[in-house]
Structure 1
Amino acid sequence: MQFEPWIVERVKARQGVLHPYDTLDAATTAFVVVDLQKYYTQPGFQGECAPARGIFDNVNKLAAAMRAHGGKVVWIKTNADGADQFWSHHHRHMLTPERSARRLLELSASHEGFEMPDTLDVQESDLIVVKRCYSALAPGASELDAVLKAHGIRTVLIGGTVTNVCCESTARDAMMLDYATIMVDDALAAVTPYEHEHSLNNWMLFFGDVLTVDEVVERLR
């Protein structure tokens, strides 16, 4: 991703360089892939983000590189069972009754929408973490923080969909929890290019780094 000169100037003024990580220690790095379930990626589901299907090859490529270098791949899945109770404000006020009911149905653990598409290369050695709301690292949202700490993870690579909602929310909380956090540009997708770019611009200014899949792979050791 090419950043506007004023963004580059401000980032360099803040941290001295545009990209702060020359190398990435794969043994302490996890590729956290957010919400690439059928509900968010496939036609016919309420939450479909059509551009997300276009990042599957890049996600698979980075996942394979992480495994080859001894890193971890973590697939995050949203489950809405009981969300009308534990996330009642969202379901009561931020969704129409029809959309609320459909989300509860299509993201239930027993529904096809909860599943991962067959074209994603999910391996038995990978980790799967189920979350309840946008950020997988919000209090009570999931066991992601404990899982990362149990595996000695200090650097988090974020991919998945959508860039400016669940991915950015999880990434921000990772940064706040003191993980080195990188948003992987071409392993992320939003509903529109504007939302994707706006999210990454703001992320770069204040929270962490943005790299492509190839740039991440070049840094892995």
Structure 2
Amino acid sequence: MVPYTSESIWRVDPLRTALLVIDMQNDFVRPGAPMEVPMARRFLPNMQRILRACRSHGVPVIFTQHILYDHVNVSPLELRIQPHLQRAGIRYGTEGVDIVSELQPLAEEFVVPKHRYDAFYNTQLETLIRTARGPGQVDTVIITGTVTSICCESTARSAYMRDLKVVFVSDANGGFDEASQQATLETIRRAFGRVTDTDTVVAEMDASES
């Protein structure tokens, strides 16, 4: 299979697009946090740029929030694979689950809680995307956030399966390491969507107004 290139696949049209900000929570981003992903922190300025551009062009913004509970094992396989989460991390009611202040959601923006890597699974995400600009108007999602190879990739694949065009931003998705980062980018590029960078996304949105 020949991979798509930026020139051979969809561009970003603000009138048809929603921005997804995946799991940019304190427990993933802050130094020393239980689920710290340094690359997510490094790419935070790019996420801010995309967020500002989307807000200025009226693009609907949807944040996701990965949440576990102390009193209910709501994600048992996740805790089996990552046993350190049995003790602490992304717990409901703590500051750790809050979206980082640098990306603070506005009152009119959506925050979708989830308990699985795929942000569409058992959530209202698809309904919000399908209706955010009026029924059937949004057909494209820009995906940013963390962790690139886990929740971001799972959500991108799920969006594609729902016939949503995926724009996966290479320098606004933070992974655990460079190897897994590049593996996900290649997988998305080959089969699930368009991989591009922050400069290109912002430029295409700005060009739509000219």
Q: Determine the structure 2 residue equivalent to 1:122.
A: 105
- In structure 2, stretches of 5+ residues that fail to align are none
Q: Which residue of 2 aligns with 1:79?
A: 67
Q: What is the alpha-carbon root mean square deviation over aligned residues? A: 2.0
Establish whether residue 88 from structure 1 lines up as the match of residue 76 from structure 2. Answer: yes
What is the TM-score with the length of structure 2 in the denominator?
0.88
- CA deviation digits over 1:6-62, x for unaligned, max 9? xxx8125xxx875412x4221220110101100111122211101111111111111
Give me the whole-angstrom Cα distance separating, in 1, the residues matched to 2:197 and 2:8. 12
Instruction: Provide the rounded CA distance (Å) in 2 between the counterparts of 1:187 and 1:17.
Output: 17
Alignment of 1:1-221 (within 5 A): 10-12=2-4, 19-21=8-10, 23-81=11-69, 85-91=73-79, 93-96=80-83, 99-103=84-88, 106-138=89-121, 140=122, 142-151=123-132, 152-220=137-205, 221=208
What is the CA distance between 1:83 and its match in structure 2? 8.7
8 Å CA contact 2:148–2:181 kept in 1: the answer is yes
Distance of 1:17 and 1:41 partners within structure 2:
29
The percentage of aligned residue pairs carrying the same residue is 26
Cα pair 2:157 2:192 within 8 Å, conserved: yes
Give me the whole-angstrom Cα distance separating, in 2, the residues matched to 1:119 and 1:68.
17
What SS does the aligned partner of 1:66 have?
Answer: helix
The structure-2 alpha-carbon separation of the partners of 1:153 and 1:89, relative to structure 1 and needing over 3 Å to count, comes to: same
Displacement of 1:123 after TM fit? 2.4
The CA distance in 2 between the partners of 1:56 and 1:208, in whole Å, is 22
| Number of residue pairs the alignment of both structures matches | 202
CA distance in 1, matches of 2:48, 2:16: 20
Q: 1:60·1:121 contact (CA, 8 Å) conserved in 2?
A: no
User: Unmatched 5+ residue regions in structure 1?
Assistant: 1-8
Q: CA deviation at 1:132?
A: 1.1
Q: Secondary structure at the match of 1:10?
A: coil
Deviation (angstroms), 1:88: 1.9
Query: Segments of 4+ in structure 1 off by > 3 A?
Result: 16-19, 82-86
Deviation of 1:100 (Å):
3.2
